[in-house]
Chains A and B, each alone.
Chain A
Amino acid sequence: MRRFVAVFIATVAGLVVLLSFKTTPTKAPRAAALSTATPGATSATSSSAAGSSSAASSATSATSSSATSSTAAPTSAAATASSASSTTTKTVTGTTVNVSEGGRSFGVVQVRLTLTNGKITAATAIQFPEDDSHSAQISQFSIPTLSQEVLSKQSASIDAVSGATYTSEAYAQSVQAALDAAKA
């Protein structure tokens, strides 16, 4: 499971490098995680992101070499620009990557990235190692920020917001306060 996460992140990072991905300084935490994507830095990132123990980091270093060495030249890049707005969404699918360690094969990983206006908005594993049925549920992904534009496209008018408990003072600046005011 950890092995899969490590490979998944390494593969995403490799794909990003090959795409000459322009980092987005406004999303510093996410960009930092994905843009330090030399193979060496990648394994460091993935071990800290996925790992909870020394066992995780050893598994990571064992697999990241095989993952990054065969990483993911983009095989298809379909650009679908929506005509209604200036938003450009691009989906890039990586090649399949065989994951092996010590001569034992663990299966195949393939990653699909979605880029909106040059920012990664989704990273999805579309093939998993077959013997790793729990991979999907703990695979990590970059968190897209749902813009108001996207929300209205989804016809998802928000009724309320869940978030870390705000103080009485911070409520005034919250989205929930704006919603309450709009409904009243």
Chain B
Amino acid sequence: MSTAVIPTAVMSTPLVHVEHVMGTVVSIDVRFADESQRLPMRAAIADVVAWLHRVDDVFSTYRHESQVSRLGRGELRLADCDSDVAEVLELCAQIGHETDGYFSSTYGGRLDPTGVVKGWAIQQASELLRSAGSAHHLVNGGGDIQAAGGSAPGVPWQIGIAHPLDRGALASVVQLTDGAVATSGIAERGAHVIDPFTGQPAVTLASVTVVGSDLIRTDAYATAAIAMGDRAGRWLERCAGYEAFAVGADGLGWSTSGYGRVGSVSAT
């Protein structure tokens, strides 16, 4: 069962940075074998952090003067916003279509692309680190993760999936190499996902975890799945390239048929 791959390189002490931004905490974990990488990687992390704050300034719906807030109030045209805003809104529209309308970029009738912004920002952060030469890193944006490589060459990242009904415990473990894991659920912010077709908070599922290659969609699909409730399993089963694991509010769970290839559930 255990991975029989022996790391080809002895990795240096991880370079870890923790940043409070976007209403949550982003943990950045960069691994390398060559100690000479430490200084350039430190600089790359500083660039990522600056960029995450820039995203927060532009997209935050909590900031009255952010471009997205002003766009929502009609004080700013889309053409006057950063080009990133149009890109994110286009992603919102695509994902709304892909999720049969369960993903929505409005909340309470107001423009709110938050459901895509964080996944998009964390995925972009990983790309920035890659461009700076990092092959092995993990960016965790408040529980939603984009990873490059593994914790060492040939060694997958081990991602614990928080148990939504048992704080501090894990319900599953995902092995991740070059990919993304996102979890949506009620554990941290209550029943905050609204079923757009009923207008009511979705309460059937305590959490949904989606594993795939890109955080933009794993994150948005996990959110949409919470809104779908009982329909989520069948919908996720049809999403090629994505696997999912869910815990119901009743404590029972299910997973897609391919989840066993990326994650394990059973404790024995």
Q: Which residues of A contact B (CB under 8 A)?
A: 9, 27, 29-33, 45, 48-49, 51-52, 89, 114, 116, 121-122, 124, 134, 136-147, 150-151, 154-168, 170-171, 175-177, 179-180, 183-184
Contact = CB atoms under 8 A, between A and B. Distances in A.
Contacts of A156: 158, 173
Contact of A166 (B118, B143, B233): B143
B188 A162 contact: no
A161 B162 contact: yes
A143 B251 CA distance: 7
B166 interface: yes
B20 interface: yes
B185 interface: yes
Nearest to A115: B268
B194 interface: no
Interface stretch (B39-47, B90-98, B253-261): B253-261
A157 B214 CA distance: 24
B162 A162 contact: yes
Contacts of A161: 140, 143, 159-162, 170
B23 interface: yes
Given A138-B233, A183-B29, A121 B268 contact: yes
Contact of A141 (B189, B253, B257): B253
B254 A142 contact: no
B14 A29 contact: no
Interface of B: 1-2, 14, 16, 18, 20, 23-25, 27, 29, 118, 138, 140-145, 151, 157-166, 168-174, 181-189, 207, 209, 229-231, 233-234, 237, 247-257, 264-268
A166 B267 contact: no
Main secondary structure of the interface of A (DSSP, over half): mixed
Contact of B247 (A134, A143, A151): A143
B189 A167 contact: yes
B169 A164 contact: no
Nearest to A141: B253
Nearest to B268: A114
13 contacts: A27-B166, A45-B250, A52-B229, A137-B255, A140-B252, A145-B267, A160-B157, A164-B186, A165-B144, A176-B25, A176-B140, A177-B18, A180-B29
Given A151-B170, A158-B160, A163 B143 contact: yes
A81 to B, nearest CB: 13
A44 to B, nearest CB: 12
Contact of B266 (A33, A121, A134, A136): A121
Contacts of B170: 145-146, 151, 158, 161, 175
Contacts of A166: 24-25, 142-143, 188
Between A31, A160, A166, A168, the greatest number of chain B beta carbons within 10 A of the residue's beta carbon is seen for: A160
B222 to A, nearest CB: 9
A164 B162 contact: yes
Contacts of B187: 163-164
In order of increasing CB-CB distance, the 3 nearest A-B pairs are: A163-B162, A52-B230, A30-B251
A134 to B, nearest CB: 8
Contacts of B138: 159-160
A30 B252 CA distance: 7
Contacts of B181: 162
Contacts of B229: 52
Contacts of B20: 168, 171
A116 B29 CA distance: 35
